Structure 1
């Protein structure tokens, strides 16, 4: 339920209030923020009715755009998702999955899917949904237009593909290439946070395959990066892999 050219925000608010009064919407408070969800039977009924209309694809597009924009503030950022953000995100993972499925479908728009995959990747990774993280990052990268190569979106997709593949695809050359490709992008963009985390990942990978000299060299380069960042957390991260 959302405002559009024919329905303004006040009408939407009135409709939501009416559904809450009828106990058709579940309201939950997480960290001071109010979240609304249709009950599953109501959601299934509404989805069935929507599928029978000519508006289904337009609604799916607006749905995907909403979650793309909602997650956009986190797109491209390296590092951990807070517990609070993770708790709130769990409520919406079904919506995010549905939006991704539509975006990369024949009826969808891959351009939206690319941005959504990049924005959602940190959540999939933080919630240990690693196979899904790999899947959507790979789909985003496969659909990435030449004009977006080397962009922040490209980096986010490549970095989270590399991080997730480390835990799902073993110590393969494919995983090493994914990490090194992400490092090249982060270096070109001057993204110190991604460089720090990717150096940690590469160091772990090299340790796993027994290349201890290589791992030490990577850790030493990582120290230079974390010192440049200068925060206590970054410095501790760099020192933890030495």
Structure 2
């Protein structure tokens, strides 16, 4: 019996006017694994995540979560199906406190007891957010803001987490901490993660598989170990 797949993307085409941002993109992410989407600026990485999360509509292709067609599902409904998206730049609301930002992630659930449990789990994962819970989110450092954004997504108790450039603008030490936390989520919660990253080395260090985009197309896919170990591939597509 084939292994159940958490997320399946088939022949995805996305256009913005005459510009084809994605062309025939297909990938599969097995349940409980991390897949890194890599490539240069303009390769289509962010467009892919925004399309999976319902923010862009494809002209062609299909997106499925364990057999359920997500292709035309609006973003506000996707979270109920178990898909959470952390956009590039974190997307937190600086005027709100840390705890208010976190509670936004559980608004749709309508179960205060379950939301309180999720909040405690988030504080256990990110102790600094508990310490700063009453402070405005604008007071947080870059790394803390990224933790808050991930924590807010986890408040929805997702099955699939979409992460767009979680290391953007962060110091190397903070980047390693964020990557270790993502791997911990996979290991401890069985979370499926699709991560877009410019920092290919960091992403592949925690991923199970990788997909390389160029010009809106998949040009390479392999295990993370193979991508890291192939010097010619790294130089040609990954920049290290």
TM beyond 0.5: no
Higher helix share: 1
Normalising by structure 2, report the TM-score. 0.29
TM-score relative to the length of structure 1: 0.29
Larger Rg, first or second structure (1 or 2): 1
